[in-house]
Amino acid sequence: MKLLRFGPAGQEKPGMLDGDGQVRDLSAHVTDFAGASVSLEALEALRAIDPASLPLVAEPGRIGSCLASVPNFFCIGLNYAKHAAETGSEPPKEPILFSKASSALSGPYDPVVIPRNSVKSDWEVELGVVIGKTASYVSEAEALSHVAGYCVINDMSEREFQIEKGGQWIKGKSAPTFGPTGPWLVTADEVPDPQALKLSLDLNGETVQDSDTSDMIFGVAEIISYMSQFMMLQPGDIIATGTPSGVGMGMKPQRFLKPGDVMEVRVEGLGEQRQETVAAS
């Protein structure tokens, strides 16, 4: 299934894409997509619904984030071999874990707001993983059975805030609109191998990131298993699994976003995003 949320910000309704790519309204069956409503059990109930029986939404309008909110917005750093190399970093021996503020979550086509005092705002196409079943001390072999689905994430980053101001990375990752997510939550049954997906990002029509998830240092199953040794993952948690090479910080000379730039972000089978950057008011 491909699930989505449509409508004005704060008034989104839950929907499903039918076999023809048309939006069907799921409001009669689920209030929204977040937490327990994206558990494996909840998704199984939705799977039993015939899309043709649902109201057709001829003009869905704005598409929101595929999740209304997240209990936790986790991220993995330096998780592509070529990206670690472009930043001059040694490949990590264990996954680097950090978080984004959940308030960074935004729609896939909403404007990205460059924060006040930002001089190094950067882009990062990533594969997002949504947890569908509580995971605590799970093995790598069991890990993927805890996944509800996958989505596109642009893990926006302000490099000066992240790296040069000390402390934890979360400061450079958490500005409002720094977490475009969606357009769809694609259920796990439609993604047989999360380590075989192409992903790319175009900036103003120029492809700057072009890779696939086989370049990950730590795959999705390893990430989930590893994280579950230290914390309990719960339905609705989202994990941004790292970005490939081609970020602005790694360019020579470095290149960062300015108002009016346009990013087009895609992961194979999971849809495409488009954001224009605007200055903070």
- Torsion angle (degrees, nearest 10) of CA 33, 79, 222, 125: 20
Q: Terminal CA-to-CA distance of the chain, rounded, Å?
A: 38
Spell out the per-residue pLDDT of the chain, length 281, in tens.
Answer: 999 999 999 999 999 999 999 999 999 999 999 999 999 999 999 999 999 999 999 999 999 999 999 999 999 999 998 887 888 888 899 999 999 999 999 999 999 999 999 999 999 999 999 999 999 999 999 999 999 999 999 999 999 999 999 889 999 999 999 999 999 999 999 999 999 999 999 999 999 999 999 999 999 999 999 999 999 999 999 999 999 999 999 999 999 999 999 999 999 999 999 999 999 99
d(CA 215, CA 53): 41
Structure tokens at 23: 């939006």
- Domains of the chain are 2-57 (no CATH), 73-279 (3.90.850.10)
Give Cα separations from 3 to 175, 198, 203 (angstroms): 26, 21, 27
Contact 125, 266 (CB under 8 A): yes
What are the CA-CA distances from residue 266 to residues 30, 155, 249, 276 (Å)? 27, 12, 20, 15
Q: Is the pTM of this model over 0.95?
A: yes
SS3 assignment for 201-261? EEECCEEEEEEEHHHECCCHHHHHHHHHCCCCECCCCEEECCCCCCCHHHCCCCCCCCCCC
| CA gap 162, 136 in Å, rounded | 29
Q: What are the tokens at 13?
A: 């309704």
Cα distance between residue 52 and residue 55, in whole Å: 8
Q: Where are the alpha helices (DSSP H) in the chain?
A: 40-47, 81-86, 140-143, 159, 220-228
